[in-house]
Homo-oligomer: A and B are copies of this chain.
């Protein structure tokens, strides 16, 4: 029974992983359950044994992906708790960019959730974003409070950072490995400028 449960969880995990892949590549509208099923070498019907429908599967994919992403950033921030603020923020930016480019190149599309989705689902996704946002917000506001950073508006700064990071894959995933690393470094350094003290 517990054996069964674990097996089921594993199955769900795999389905969600495949779904995250497909939705991440194609975006919500253009993704088909048929394709998700194909990548798992099963048939569409079997997905419905685990998930009520496309929306639910997509939500699960978004949540899994988002949680994983956030946790890794949180862990990184903890690990660098003693580093200078600027360096910690730089590391966070760099890591975020790397995850976006190397692992979830189409997360942007995935997170463009249709307006038609039930409010509850959209709400859960918003929460996820908020938690994710908080990792960076904490750094920025603390830096500002300490007088090390200066920003026009915390919100605008964070939005700009997130936008740039999430679109990074669009322009640097086609680069060769070396140029890509350089581009990611450049972007992280560039984004640091957003909080640098003026003058």
Q: Tell yes or no: A135 within 8 A of B by CB.
A: no
The smallest beta-carbon distance between A110 and chain B, in angstroms, is 11
Integer count of this chain's copies in the complex: 2
Do the beta carbons of B159 and A30 come within 8 Å of each other?
no
Max chain B CB contacts within 10 Å: which of A164, A194, A198? Answer: A164
Chain A contact-residue range equals: 20 to 34
Which residues does chain B contribute within 8 Å of A187, judged by CB atoms? 153, 156, 159-160
Within 8 A of B (CB), among A177-199: 183, 186-187, 189-191, 193-194, 196, 198-199
A189 partner residues in chain B, CB cutoff 8 A: 152-153, 156
- A199: chain B residues at CB < 8 Å are 199
Q: Which of B27, B152, B153, B164 touches A159 (beta carbons < 8 Å)?
A: B164
A109 beta carbon closer than 8 Å to chain B: yes
List, in ascending order, chain B residues with CB within 8 A of A166's CB: 163, 167
- Within the complex, the shortest CB–CB distance from A50 to chain B, in Å, comes to 25
| Closest-CB distance, A55 to chain B (whole angstroms) | 14
User: For residue A25, which residue of chain B has the nearest CB?
Assistant: B115
**Interface: A29 (CB within 8 A):** yes
